Amino acid sequence: MKIDGIGALVTGGASGLGEATTRALVGSGARVVIADLNEEKGEKLAGELGDAAEFVATNATDEDAVAAAVERAAAAPGGLRASICCAGIGWVEKTAGKNGPHNLEYFTNVVGVNLIGSFNVLRLAAATMNGNEPDEGGERGVCVNTASIAGYDGQIGQVAYAASKGGIIGMTLPAARDLASRGIRVATIAPGTFDTPLLAALPQENRDALGAQIPFPSRLGDPAEFAALAEHIVTNPMINGETIRLDGALRMPPR
């Protein structure tokens, strides 16, 4: 699918991996709706990018909020053709420890935002794409979700996060099969350790140590590299039903 002229939705699009994806899509000619909870960052980014971007305050788990963001993205001349879901949260706690069992509310919250939120965006975006006219290749749209290599090899204390990301990986193929007859593709990116605002708060020594664990290149991933893969998925019609690890050959140790 060609990116130039299409409407795109990026949830979690105001910072980190989502911001990089927003910038890349705008740079390739898309009109992007930045769907994010952070109004300050979202409005600032939209203002910087001009008429090619619009911010819509959005909680990925809120059906009405996501529907509104999807509607705005669909108003682009090319219609909503690409949805990239980058919204997510984390939590660290063991299944059971000295203080008792894992807090169920926190587990539910992480799964709710990461997995259910991703599915909420996927289902609503796909329903709107369903009404698009197919392009010359028969495509109506592309949905890209964000998992994590923690969904494959989660570390100690990552049970909630790993479960949520593993769920995203697990729904990728059946969702792609569900939507195949309508020419809508679904794929997932599972990034490793990336240089996002969350890690920016760490001392440089700790950041360097995290990067050194990656076989090659031995550094933190650049959000622009995530964005480049997201763009490639949109433009490559044979990428469908697949989760792609983007991790420099990192396999996470237990801790």
In 3D space, the residue among 133, 178, 142 whose CA is nearest the CA of residue 2 turns out to be 142
Q: Are 87 and 60 in contact (CB under 8 A)?
A: yes
Q: Are 115 and 168 in contact (CB under 8 A)?
A: yes
Q: Are 144 and 12 in contact (CB under 8 A)?
A: no
- pLDDT band per the 50, 70, 90 thresholds, residue 204: confident
* pTM as predicted: 0.95
Q: What is the largest CA-CA distance in the chain?
A: 60
Query: What is the distance between the alpha carbons of residues 225 and 243, in angstroms, rounded to a whole number?
Result: 16
Region 172-188 average pLDDT: 98
DSSP E strands in 70-166: the ranges are 80-85, 96-97, 100-101, 141-146
DSSP output for 39-76: HHHHHHHHHHHGGGEEEEE--TT-HHHHHHHHHHHHTS
Q: Give me the domains of the chain, ranges plus CATH numbers.
A: 7-193+223-245 (3.40.50.720)
Q: pLDDT: is 95 or 210 the higher one?
A: 95
Active site (catalytic) residues? 161
What are 114-128's pLDDT values in tens digits?
999 999 999 999 999
In 3D space, the residue among 2, 1, 19 whose CA is nearest the CA of residue 10 turns out to be 19
Query: What is the distance between the alpha carbons of residues 76 and 67, in angstroms, rounded to a whole number?
Result: 15
What are 12-38's pLDDT values in tens digits?
999 999 999 999 999 999 999 999 999
Residue 87 dihedral angles phi and psi, to the nearest 5°: -70, 135
